[in-house]
Amino acid sequence: MYPLNRNRRLRSTPSMRELVQETRLSASDFLVPLFIVEGTNTASEIPSMPGYFRYSLDLVTTEVAKLYDMGVRGVLLFVKVSDQEKDNTGIAALNPDGLMQRSIRAIKKAVPNMVVCTDVALDPYSVYGHDGIVENKEVLNDATVEILSKMAVSHAESGADIVAPSDMMDGRVLAIRKQLETAGFVHTGIMSYSAKYASGFYGPFRDALDSNPGFGDKKTYQMDIANRKEAINETLQDIEEGADIVMVKPGIAYLDIVRDLANKIHTPIAVYQVSGEYAMLKAAAEKGWLDHDTVMMEQLIAFKRAGASLIVSYHATTAIALL
């Protein structure tokens, strides 16, 4: 009660504020998404993600070495697949010499201590731009899960440390865990996109990978943005099925979900600050309407304050440079 309590006492100087700061960011909080393309010596900026690039494999290994030196301990790989390799079976995703498999091997060879996480979903490989096999305009669940578990094993065989299913099919975590066990990859982890919403914030990512859905939307598998209890159910199920890390996605608009989970579970929670969030800030900063770095740091701190222990973000290197 005032004047016994004066809240401004602990805010009076930078040192005082530092002493009582509850949440801190560090380089090892980040998982850095990397977009990989075929070719050599190519770094092409993604138009809707200013300052973010698609790299050819030779450049990506250098990039990963730089990240490791900055203190980053995990990367999350996505590949852009050529149109010829896209079909409705996802067979190209199992190619031991596919771009993903070659990338995992090259990165683990160049920077063995970097934790390599890989995207497991069919959308980059799908002629329909959907995360699974399509029949009569429907995304089939069980047939998709079968191919996803093979895809996960193929990534593990190439050296992936953690596979990250981003597809939202039911039962995929359990199926992947079983296949990994059978194949002897007992130490390969699973980071499950557990609470992944059917969001409008994914637009720039779909441009980056040329993976826009050819028909319809993803609402029959990604979650309804209006639901909270569903996110908790889905996440608890994924943990039961063997997820080592769970995820909430997108980030800023879903911090209530992050906090709810943090109050309920003891599994590490990752939050994905997605492409649209990145693009919005870049656009506002370009217009001079927001101070980029201040708002970026505010959002990143908010993720940790909400209860996330890992942050997937396109801002990682910019933020780390400021720490």
Q: Smallest gap, in angstroms, from Cβ of residue 282 to ligand PBG?
A: 13
Which of the residues 270 through 289 are near ligand PBG (CB under 6 A)? Answer: 274-275
> Up-side HSE of residue 294: CA atoms within 13 Å toward CB?
6
DSSP 203-237: HHHHHHHT---SSS-STTTSBPTT-SHHHHHHHHH
Q: Lay out the site mask for ligand PBG across 86-115 (x = CB under 6 A, - = otherwise).
A: ------------------------------
Contact 308, 258 (CB under 8 A): yes
Question: Contacting ligand PBG (CB under 6 A), which of 63, 123, 238, 260?
Answer: 123
Q: Which of 117, 179, 168, 119 is nearest to 144 (CA)?
A: 168
End-to-end CA distance of the chain: 36
- C-alpha distances (whole Å) from 116 to each of 41, 58, 131, 208 are 22, 16, 21, 20
Active site residue 287: no
Residues 6+ apart with CB under 8 A from 83: none
Q: Lay out the site mask for ligand PBG across 237-276 (x = CB under 6 A, - = otherwise).
A: -------------------------------------xx-
**Is 194 a residue that touches ligand PBG (CB under 6 A)?**
no
Name the residue nearer to ligand PBG (CB basis): 154 or 166: 166
Question: Contacting ligand PBG (CB under 6 A), which of 30, 125, 197, 202?
Answer: 202
Question: Contacting ligand PBG (CB under 6 A), which of 79, 121, 169, 319?
Answer: 121
Only one of the segments 104-112, 118-126, 137-145, 228-236 lies at the binding site for ligand PBG (rule: CB under 6 A); that segment is 118-126
Q: What are phi and psi of 127, to 5 degrees?
A: -65, -25
Q: How far apart are CA 220 and CA 230, in angstroms?
A: 14
Type of residue at 207: D
Which of the residues 209 through 228 are near ligand PBG (CB under 6 A)? Answer: 218
Cα angle, residue 96 at apex, residues 93 and 98 outer, rounded to 5°: 55
Tokens of 263: 């109050």
Name the residue nearer to ligand PBG (CB basis): 128 or 202: 202
Type of residue at 206: R
**86, 150, 196, 304: the active-site residue:** 196
Question: Contacting ligand PBG (CB under 6 A), which of 63, 131, 234, 241?
Answer: 131
Only one of the segments 58-66, 108-116, 151-159, 201-209 lies at the binding site for ligand PBG (rule: CB under 6 A); that segment is 201-209
Active site residue 66: no
Question: Contacting ligand PBG (CB under 6 A), which of 166, 194, 299, 317?
Answer: 166
Q: Kindly give the pairing relationship between strand 310-313 and strand 269-273.
A: parallel
> Catalytic positions, please?
196, 249
Binding stretches for ligand PBG (CB under 6 A): 119, 121, 123, 131, 166-167, 202, 205-206, 218, 274-275
